[in-house]
Amino acid sequence: MTTATHFPLNAGGDGAAPGHDPTPVSGAEILIRSLEAEGVEYVFGHPGGAVIKIYDEMHRIQPSWEHILVRHEQGGTHAAEGYAKATGKVGTVLVTSGPGATNCVTGIADAFMDSVPIVVFTGQVPTALIGNDAFQECDTIGVTRSITKHSFLVRDVADLASTVRAAYHIARTGRPGPVVVDLPKDVLLATAPFHYPDEVALPGYSYVGKGNREQIERAAEMIMASEKPLLYVGGGTINSGATKELTALARKTGIPVTTTLHGLGAFPETDPLSVGMLGMHGTWYANQAVQNSDLLIAVGARFDDRVTGKLDAWAPQAKIIHIDIDPACISKNVPVDCPILGDVRLVLEELEPLLSAKDTSAWLARIDGWREDCPMDFVPDGKLRPQQIIQALREKTGGDAVVVTDVGQNQMWAAQFFSYARTRSHITSGGLGTMGFSLPAAMGAAFGMRGQDVPVISINGDGGFLMNSQELGVCAAHGLPLKIVILNNSFLGMVRQWQELFHDERYSHTDLTTTNPDFVALAKAYRCEGLRCDKPEDVQATIDKAWEINDRPVLMEFQVITEEMVFPMVPAGAATDDMITQRFDPELSA
């Protein structure tokens, strides 16, 4: 058997390992060797007719990267997202044409909304048949144009290696995002010499680095002059690798920190300066701090509607500094007083030396008063409540875990009660809000965390879990020690909550009581361990037992009460200081 040369793995950053071989090889082999040169570790994929040549060459060459056969292409894209979010590297997906590509659309859109760097390789019919409605043909570039950072249709095998190089460069630089590379079958069969460029030639593509010095100096003056400043931190801070710089700045100045859902972990929530998450299901005291602040310092955040609520009533007293790498986000939703376009880490590196310690004691005391008025807690009453389970997981891990949540009530309880202390420890679907995200994303994160003694926990509702439960088979096949939690309230919980609060308790098509499977039996059918808990006093024992099993996934089904709701919450269209803080809030019935 002839074996192709394996190029060394890329140690990180944007510089790929160069490679050159004058012997003509197939486009499929060029792709495989390009991924090696790029330093790819895992490819989440599923074979099909348009990409069968790649899989054939994969069998012959045995590449240095590992192919993970997913059970559904959507699961593959979410796995790539989870890998990317947990490691900071680019995730990779390989699927066939037509339905293979369209099954990836949700994951691509999710990555686009949440700025996740993934490259999705899709098969395509031969170039001569494009536009002829050939078998399994789809205009993948057209379908994904609005949900990708960039896309390529490779028409010449000689362009393939340089296209791969460009795709990874675009995905990881600037504001990260998904890139699609569409591969016609005849291009994969054609031959050309292999040359992987060590530099990228993209004259039409640029991204910012350092911020404008004058604007940074102006921001420093505004910060030092403020009396009630607040750092509002988003996921861009984590993408930039700026958590160390952010933490140093906050502690030096004594400025309190609130984070978005994606910003969780950017600043340790165990720090006294942390006021937790803001927004629709954020803490009462974080939202009160926003509404009473005289200066908001937005760092890698985009002022989305789940944060701001009613725009004209949001942060009415505050001047705003906005640091972001994407010019499209500056003043898009909220006009800002001091925009700084640049890489968050580089901007904070320049800003921090211009600042000195501030006396924020009165401001912090006021925030602590709000914290005492409406703490983030729950009252144990003998019923199995989801908050107890999240807190028990936090205590078990000491916060040293990667928590991957699904979408809905489970997502909010995990955001409110886990108390994240390390970066890249919280992974979720934010902008698109994709149910079915957690299990495959946790699978991808677990591959990325292989060799590290850090547990990966997948937290799900019963409804969302079933949307991609087939990936249990992949997790079991690879012996991933995932800890999978299902908070089973036998309802589509978040929709049920809205139906109870705002639709006169008309529970239309949200009751899953008679349609849910036996989750423990389902886990065992996939060769995973399954545990069930329905009593508060058994929570700790269930978690302890799950942690004793490390050679396969463990699914823990917690049969929580149906009627539990996520509070606080800001109703749709309301201002963030008009939060509902309990089930029968007098303001709700007024």
Question: Looking at the annotation, which residues are catalytic?
Answer: 73, 135-136, 185, 494
Listing DSSP states for 405-419 in one string gives E-SSHHHHHHHHHS-
| φ, ψ of residue 91 in degrees (nearest 5) | -85, 155
DSSP character for 266? S
Who contacts 453 (Cβ-Cβ below 8 Å, separation ≥6)?
none
Residue 529 sits at the vertex; the CA angle it makes with 528 and 532, to the nearest 5 degrees, is: 130
The CA–CA distances, whole Å, from 485 to 86, 362, 383, 394, 458 equal 19, 41, 18, 13, 6
Q: Which of 15, 6, 51, 30 is nearest to 161 (CA)?
A: 30
Q: Is the peptide bond before 568 cis (omega within 30 degrees of 0)?
A: yes
- Rounded Cα distance, 116 and 118, in Å: 6
Instruction: Enter the tokens of residue 164.
Output: 């791969």
CB-CB contact of 103 with 45 (8 Å)? no
Considering only CA atoms, give the Rg of the chain. 25
CB-CB contact of 260 with 296 (8 Å)? no
Question: What is the maximal distance between C-alpha atoms in the chain?
Answer: 78
Instruction: Enter the tokens of residue 531.
Output: 């545990």
Question: Which helix H or strand E contains 19, and what residues bound it?
Answer: strand 19-26
CB-CB contact of 177 with 236 (8 Å)? no
